[in-house]
Structure 1
């Protein structure tokens, strides 16, 4: 195979940890991973970060740095049997580094198979995930791993990466490329090194060798749009597709919602990931305009986990259409964000005495719980009473949206609190 048939990210893949770009917080001179490697120590690790930031490459280079065998597996095509075979074949004297890409797709039995090997020191595990490991990796396995977050590459890192490629890759050097504008390269790569290099490779493939060639924004946009299938190969459209999916739900378009969901499923997206995103949308974009949306999304999430594909597509489709056609409201989403901001600014304010618990005699003597009015002792289970610190009296964080349920709820609240408002 000629070099030109090898993708550019592979042609210039870093050969040492010092060549890694954009992860200085982990691999810089005084950074934690660098210090551990300098001491010859490599614990089990979970790398959490978006695609194209070097998780696989860093795992390989870490193994090489401590002179350990490296075994790479994918959660997409590795079962419990294969895992146990790898573990059984690992040597006791020199445990291999076992890298598992997309470890969040391993089920409980697969993760349990890893747990025993990690506990006994038969392997050093390095897992890579784009999902929050606190939710996707079981707690026993997670507690035996160091979790490190990898960041998307910023514009400076992307530019540095591209300049390194232009200066080191034979194919690119022959084309004498000069980059006049970087904006489109930054936009299309979105912090993903692999995307940036693939796009650079695509643009360069249109150039002739032996003459100066210019790259500008217009050329990058034209090339990316004409070659979107090649450019986004291997599932790299992940974040664009899920963004279109969620925005279609928010925009109340069931047809577009189903289309983008189908695109994700056809591309091999984890159905549990899709169900989780709908669970979030049910609260963020629908909220109290239709509380049943959250219940249905929660049941969808559990059902998809229990059933699996291909039948899970039916459950996903039902939930997606329900969410897309539901009334929409982000009032509680906005309210909790405002509440968090206010809480950060006013964390010094004490809890009013009448709202405090008084489990001891001394606390009662100090006035804890005194003058608290128990709402259930009053008609309609409501009584006028202040629940905020005095300094925040009258603060309104929740603003209802214009939908039937929230309007009705507001009328009840206005009737309840009318006397208090008049007193103000």
Structure 2
């Protein structure tokens, strides 16, 4: 839990200065006004609804949804500043319900004394339903101005009761240009930043740090601070940056919103016959630490769902690539998955088998347990034969053309059905020609001779 508290004496002022020097650069450079914030131009543009609300001090309870380092905590602090309210913060990772109740009780006392409290709940999606419900009566009474921060989709992670009492504001990853601007401000600021240290860095190197930050202002400032510590005689050189940026990783949440967005992008790139985009999303997920076994399973599903019988080789190739990865591991096995993604995206597509199976399952659910026609039943005993099991069955290999056309294979109560409609692509083109001819002949045979002929 954290709270804002102004210094109360000269000694406290001196102590706060000493402590400030120990704080990370990203914390020291936290914006003090809306004008100092970088990024979020859409949300906080002059004249926007949220900006007018904040500047007037008439703020509302809200959920801030966005990636790490986009300014969620900073915006919550500014809300309290502009509203002249107390600021309290709890983390859903570190705090339990007893601590939350203590903070809410303090907020109630302040409210009774005529002062509002902005309660910032970081990682609010990590609270369970009971913990989220604890905030509801206090939001309704106005005891607190609730500000929840989450990197996950609120629709999935927050209960509807909390969502109904808060407005969701979507925050975006900060652009490289805006991060570079924040880095320049830190280099120029002699009070809170690195100004006065005589640091030198060219524009290209600053852009490299901004790119490595990957949309996260806090991360960019941290990288700059490390580079400043390693700088040789005040000069941040390419050799310095090589050390600082060597082990950087891209943003990727293995179980969250980004994960599902990226696997969706991979699947849809394959479906759209776009091998280059499919390779990009596959590489992104592997780079982010996604389990290659999971990707192999999803690629195999694409071979079944989106390619199907238009190219039956796709399924076997998927199994082979999966097996190759299991044998080789990373990084050698990653190439097998890359080759598979290229092939799946490049070959003919059809979801006809997938759609046919789903249609058959719908009939099974809707029509229940229909009897197997007598001529299709197994008759291993004399009694079963006497009861008519298997009677009238025509052995297709003995029929003309190898198919007993006047014999149905569906339950009598269901009648003939057509589920599988091959597309005119790939190998299904041949299947379509054969099945169209066979179905036409079967309809004619089962309808019997035309009485007019």
TM-score (norm 2): 0.55
Q: Secondary structure at the match of 1:98?
A: strand
Q: Find the aligned partners of 1:176 and 1:100 in 2 and give their Cα distance.
A: 37
Residue in 2 aligned with 1:224?
245
Residue in 1 aligned with 2:194?
171
- The change in CA–CA distance for 1:44 and 1:176 in structure 2 (over 3 A counts) is same
Shift of 1:260: 5.1
Give the count of matched residue pairs.
300
Aligned ranges 1:81-96 → 2 under 5 Å: 81-91=98-108, 92=111, 93-96=114-117
Shift of 1:187: 2.8
Residue in 1 aligned with 2:416?
379
Q: Find the aligned partners of 1:174 and 1:223 in 2 and give their Cα distance.
A: 19
**Does 2:301 match 1:287?**
yes
Q: After TM superposition, what 4+ stretches of structure 1 lie above 6 angstroms from structure 2? A: 240-247, 328-335, 409-414
Q: Mark the runs of 5 or more structure 2 residues left unpaired by the alignment.
A: 1-17, 264-277, 280-284, 306-333, 352-412, 440-453
**Does 2:199 match 1:199?**
no
Q: Find the aligned partners of 2:296 and 2:134 in 1 and give their Cα distance.
A: 35
Mapped contact 2:188–2:194 kept (Cα < 8 A): no
Aligned ranges 1:176-325 → 2 under 5 Å: 176-181=199-204, 182-207=206-231, 213-216=235-238, 218-225=239-246, 228=247, 239=252, 285-287=299-301, 289=303
Q: Deviations over 1:309-353 (max 9, x none)?
A: xxxxxxxxxxxxxxx999x88999999x999xxxxxxxxxxxxxx
Query: 2:82 is matched with which residue: 62, 65, 68?
Result: 65
Residue in 2 aligned with 1:134?
155
Shift of 1:108: 0.7
- The change in CA–CA distance for 1:131 and 1:410 in structure 2 (over 3 A counts) is farther
Shift of 1:84: 2.0
- The change in CA–CA distance for 1:379 and 1:138 in structure 2 (over 3 A counts) is same
Residue in 2 aligned with 1:55?
72
Mapped contact 1:22–1:157 kept (Cα < 8 A): yes
Q: Deviations over 1:244-300 (max 9, x none)?
A: 9999xx99xxxx99x9579xxxxxxxxxxxxxx96xx69853425578xxxxxxxxx
Residue in 1 aligned with 2:393?
none
Q: Mark the runs of 5 or more structure 1 residues left unpaired by the alignment.
A: 263-276, 292-323, 340-375, 386-393, 401-406
- The change in CA–CA distance for 1:417 and 1:127 in structure 2 (over 3 A counts) is farther
Mapped contact 1:48–1:129 kept (Cα < 8 A): yes
Mapped contact 1:177–1:212 kept (Cα < 8 A): yes
Q: Secondary structure at the match of 1:89?
A: helix
Q: Secondary structure at the match of 2:134?
A: helix
Shift of 1:166: 0.8
- The change in CA–CA distance for 1:377 and 1:107 in structure 2 (over 3 A counts) is same
Residue in 1 aligned with 2:4?
none
Mapped contact 1:177–1:214 kept (Cα < 8 A): yes
TM-score (norm 1): 0.58
Mapped contact 1:71–1:99 kept (Cα < 8 A): yes
Q: Find the aligned partners of 1:111 and 1:410 in 2 and give their Cα distance.
A: 56
Q: Deviations over 1:203-223 (max 9, x none)?
A: 111125xx652444x532332
**Quick check: which has more Rg, 1 or 2?**
2
Q: For structure 1, which segment, 129-138 or 237-246, has the greater mean C-alpha deviation from structure 2 after superposition?
A: 237-246
Q: Find the aligned partners of 1:155 and 1:196 in 2 and give their Cα distance.
A: 10
Q: Find the aligned partners of 1:148 and 1:60 in 2 and give their Cα distance.
A: 16
- The change in CA–CA distance for 1:289 and 1:83 in structure 2 (over 3 A counts) is same
- The change in CA–CA distance for 1:108 and 1:187 in structure 2 (over 3 A counts) is same
Mapped contact 1:48–1:150 kept (Cα < 8 A): yes
Shift of 1:111: 1.0
Mapped contact 1:45–1:147 kept (Cα < 8 A): yes
Residue in 2 aligned with 1:27?
44
Aligned ranges 1:272-421 → 2 under 5 Å: 285-287=299-301, 289=303, 379-382=416-419, 416=435
Q: Find the aligned partners of 2:228 and 2:350 in 1 and give their Cα distance.
A: 48
Q: Find the aligned partners of 2:79 and 2:20 in 1 and give their Cα distance.
A: 26
